[in-house]
A = this chain, B = another copy of it.
Amino acid sequence: MQTPAFTHLVDTLPSTVPFVGPEAQERQLERAFLARIGANESVFGPSPQVKSAIADMAGDVWRYGDPEHFDLKAALAAKHGVSPHHIVSGEGIDGILGNLVRLFVGPGVAVVTSDGAYPTFNYHVNGFGGDLVKVPFDGDSEDPAALIQMAQSVKARLVYLSNPNNPMGSFHPRARIEEMVAALPDGCLLCLDEAYADFVDEDELPDIPVDHDRVIRLRTFSKAYGLAGIRIGYAITNAPLANAFNKIRNHFGVNSIAQTAAVAALADTGHQSSVRKAVAAALERVAGIAQANGCIGLPTRTNFIAVDCMQDGAFARRVLQALIGQGIFVRMPGVAPLDRCIRISAGTKSDLDALEAAFPKALQTAVVT
């Protein structure tokens, strides 16, 4: 008998996944991590109001969530001073990126990103058969001018940039991004991933007209709001593009608890400030731990810090493995020369106590190996 055939494209896709979760590593290690500071989650948790909202919703989960996300979009529109028609909400930035790529990318369509930028974006581009073209980082920053130049040269339909940057923590001032927007080639959409924008001040972010026909900005509740597990992200873009998502999205895909929790999270601005303060203090401590061990915490405008281990990628990879072996979950950039660093998220006091104890041993192990 003949097995049903996958599409040709699916046959060409590898079985790799963008990220192995810490739970899989724990199952392999057969013990729980002491510190979970590898995925840029917010260890400071969600707002108490969010926790109450979730508990209050427990009996109501028998109802499908509103497929139009009306209340959430209204709250987001108010926050950003735009109309709900400019908002796309979905199952995290990852879910929105998947649909965004599906709207624009098919075999033969060129897409430009930076070598070492967000792997899940690449996963989606490959998943829809796009031709992914990568430009190098400029030092520890994505390079807007090089991205634009490459986009022009390969006639890219999408160009991706994260600001603040993941995995390095660097940040382009607003003028730099505004220049990039002004230089966008015809027919090319800037996919501006602002997952970490909640860690900078609003007036540091670029001013881009919401009806610009070639920009989409992505935001998330997974970082500053402490809602990674609940899966909710959103995009701000021109109304026709926002509406196009309705042609392909999983309309009932965003769960009802996520919608309610996100609305509650937006309302608690006090919690947002306190998280920013706690993150800054935690990252300062991580930088201190790095320095005390002859390493350097790079400047960061996110809730994580790239720690330069002052040698090559092979060395940093050994440091990472030795940290994981000691129960510290961290990750690192995938390509040189960024991979001289390991990436450490802001942690609680107990997380960072564990890091402080483990880090010198990890460096020692990495040297000796």
Contacts and interface: CB of A to CB of B under 8 A. Distances in A.
Interface of A: 1-10, 13-15, 17-19, 21, 23-24, 27, 36, 39, 41-46, 50-52, 54-55, 57-68, 70, 91-92, 94-95, 98, 102-106, 109, 127, 157-158, 186-189, 213-214, 222, 226-231, 243-244, 246-248, 250-258, 261
Contacts of A98: 250
A62 B258 CA distance: 12
A255 B230 CA distance: 5
Contacts of A59: 45-46, 51
Contacts of A15: 243, 246-247
A118 B186 CA distance: 41
Nearest to A256: B229
Given A91-B250, A94-B253, A247-B14, A213 B3 contact: yes
A231 B247 contact: no
| Top 7 A-B pairs, shortest CB-CB distance | A229-B256, A54-B58, A2-B186, A62-B226, A4-B189, A23-B66, A51-B58
10 contacts: A2-B186, A4-B104, A4-B158, A5-B157, A21-B67, A43-B62, A44-B62, A46-B62, A231-B252, A255-B255
Given A15-B246, A46-B59, 13 more contacts: A4-B213, A5-B157, A9-B106, A18-B251, A19-B67, A21-B66, A41-B63, A45-B59, A54-B54, A60-B229, A94-B250, A231-B253, A255-B255
Contacts of A66: 21, 23-24
A261 B230 CA distance: 13
A17 B9 CA distance: 27
A34 to B, nearest CB: 15
Nearest to A98: B250
Contacts of A243: 15
State the oligomeric state as a number of copies: 2
Contact of A3 (B8, B17, B187, B222): B187
Contacts of A43: 62
A73 to B, nearest CB: 12
A44 B23 CA distance: 33
A89 B153 CA distance: 41
Contact of A248 (B10, B27, B39): B10
Nearest to A187: B2
Nearest to A71: B23
Nearest to A18: B251
Given A24-B68, A70-B23, A103 B247 contact: no
B61 A251 contact: no
Contact of A253 (B92, B244, B251): B92
Contacts of A258: 255
A19 B248 CA distance: 13
Nearest to A247: B13
Q: Most chain-B CB neighbours within 10 Å: which of A1, A36, A62, A189?
A: A62
Nearest to A51: B58
